A and B are shown apart, each in its own frame.
Chain A
């Protein structure tokens, strides 16, 4: 059965021992088995399979058949390389030509050998339907200051070919030696990063996250865990590929492990070194932000040319028992378009003196079209009431018409 299965394997290498006997009706064939298989997963869009076989050759011309029935091999990508002698004495071997029979997923290499002996060959090809993806599992500490991050590679074999003990390499991290059967999905732990510092952020940004209640001008305040892919965060060795992140949180006290709870999941985007991966965990209902446009003025500079002023007022209440920092972000073009309409022109703007955010905008997270401020919010008072914090953003838009 084992033998039959091997013969029936979709990708097969067959050696015709009769020199130039490719068209002969009566053939004697040998079936060199795979000695080693590597699957290279470093290309984001393609999977390269490399298999090594020891091929017996006779002096002169040899016909080597390779067939791949019912698999999705791109025949143009098949590369045959002689990488050394097989067992015994070395023979020089070279592919003279390749013939492609009609209507078959197969080819025939004509290989010349200087002597009779065996050659170790490596056959490489791109194989479809053998796909990889990445996934993460993160467990946050109970105080939400660090998390343990596990990175997994998931290989799904819908290629209709089974590979025995196979070396798998994602292009970074460690190599695996695993078998992978037909229609099998295999998940492998690539890396484990312990105690990665996280920042827990609460952010309001009407352009990005919209309103929770438009009628009451209440903004939606999502909560994120932010991981920085750098050395200080015990990461930074390679980009983090995109993948689903399942997030758990440890329980409090002695039985932290057993009390671990599922917090949620999000798609982590591709995160280069030094960039941040931001994971959405849900809307923070305990932080209420009411956004109103307090002032809308324009001053004529000349003719139809105006300087315009806007003051946005944020009334913020933190109903949590601990103080938090709220990130307040605004898109300048969103504000201009919301209040004055979109004139399609670039905006020349500056912060006005009535801005009350302390410390000014975060230089790294702000840009020409975005301001982001960090606003510390006190914990709710002992009587359970939240302390209202009033914040103002004063924008001056110059030379508008």
Chain B
């Protein structure tokens, strides 16, 4: 079923009069010549710019524009004359009370003949999203990475042969609305909803006007060739223009390839970062959105990444799917494949002891150190400070056929001394980080001692690293 709700009707005025017949009427319906959609998925807002060719007579020409059962914002509809703009003028715009989703323009024409008009408006219900398909090679040294955009049309209107432009990035219009309303930014929320919407439309239009010259021509591409998606920077945003035109009917969605990187180099790393990935050692694919990786032509918009690997048996193995956040050009792409059953990761506590126990004589500000019974300490005293020692081993068993790189991050609260020969570094004041490589079929015991100053002994809330050999 083809829906067609958006119409422009020229009432054939027999005389130069703006009076429209009430019941018996005659009209012509000029078709759309071109249509362009600029879709902002962050706001459920699409700017539609369409052109139509209309034949005017000298005098007043009534035009009716209606949009029944669509999601057009009526306050945003604008009419412009692309030909003979100095000879054509909108005298008035009428929104009839008895016919919702309709307006009339009375156009004063000084010409007899054809003119191209442009109607712009905002509609909701058209959205786009990005998604990615990654297929890693069998040896996991490189992968094919393809990006897609999917445009969904639930606006109530069919758009045929439309040029489609997608805006990547979140648009913050408050500042622009404030400028237009000449009010401080914190007063934008106090504007009447209607006024704010109108200013928002205006702000959006101004932004789009700057990009008006961008994007390819509306000519159809050669048959059977994949359409290129042209990517251009636009202020803080990125504009994707799909080559040629697309027909996206109401209710349909369409997915097109936005880029293809055939041989993106990748690195495999095992990571333990409980704050990011939960309490597991997870396997990661690490790559970069840069030129060396045969990417880097565009930021990667938010979207779902689906990751497969070529299996030993010609087919695919499904690894994972995850949502990625916007990745700027040059930034890294990190794909979490989850725990690997062939790598066993355990933290085992080997020993516990206490030292540097300080007693406080009850009711006095007097502290005495317990020194293996050498000094007599009052019975009337209470433990006030001590050091807890724990010796741990981070056991990692690698049952894969390759050496693995492992990075471990562990956070500790309190006043901590971290002793080891693991060459650790501090990721932050409370998080220790260390790396190791484990050969195939090998087992690693990464030993460390944790000294936690407790009670009166705790003077800080941070970690000090000490290089030392820890015995089992």
Contact = CB atoms under 8 A, between A and B. Distances in A.
B386 interface: yes
A327 interface: no
Contacts, number: 151
Given A126-B318, A175-B313, A303-B382, A367 B227 contact: no
Contacts of B253: 99-100
Given A60-B224, A94-B226, A398-B354, A305 B313 contact: no
Given A99-B253, A100-B252, A270 B317 contact: no
Q: How large is the interface on A (under 10, 10 to 19, 20 to 34, 35 or more residues)?
A: 35 or more
B378 A50 contact: no
B357 A305 contact: yes
Nearest to B306: A77
B364 interface: no
A272 B227 CA distance: 49
Given A300-B379, A305-B370, A239 B342 contact: yes
Interface stretch (B285-293, B324-332, B345-353): B345-353
B206 interface: no
Contacts of B352: 346-349, 368
B89 interface: no
B252 A102 contact: yes
A42 B315 CA distance: 12
B128 to A, nearest CB: 13
A95 B152 CA distance: 19
Contacts of B399: 239, 272-273
Contacts of B383: 303-305, 401
A29 interface: no
Interface in B171-227: 223-227
Q: How large is the interface on B (under 10, 10 to 19, 20 to 34, 35 or more residues)?
A: 35 or more
Contact of B316 (A40, A61, A102, A239): A40
B311 to A, nearest CB: 7
A303 B380 contact: yes
Contact of B344 (A98, A272, A401): A272
Nearest to B255: A98
Contacts of B133: 79
Contacts of A305: 357, 359, 370, 383
A368 B152 CA distance: 59
A97 B379 CA distance: 84
A171 B315 CA distance: 12
**Interface hub of A43, A273, A302 (most chain B Cβ within 10 A):** A302
**Interface hub of B255, B319, B397 (most chain A Cβ within 10 A):** B255
Q: Which 8 A-B pairs have the closest CB atoms?
A: A102-B251, A303-B381, A302-B377, A112-B224, A368-B349, A98-B255, A48-B318, A100-B253
Given A43-B318, A124-B308, A273-B397, 10 more contacts: A42-B317, A79-B308, A79-B316, A94-B226, A100-B253, A112-B224, A302-B368, A303-B362, A303-B383, A305-B370
10 contacts: A95-B257, A100-B253, A175-B313, A272-B342, A272-B397, A302-B359, A304-B382, A305-B357, A346-B388, A348-B354
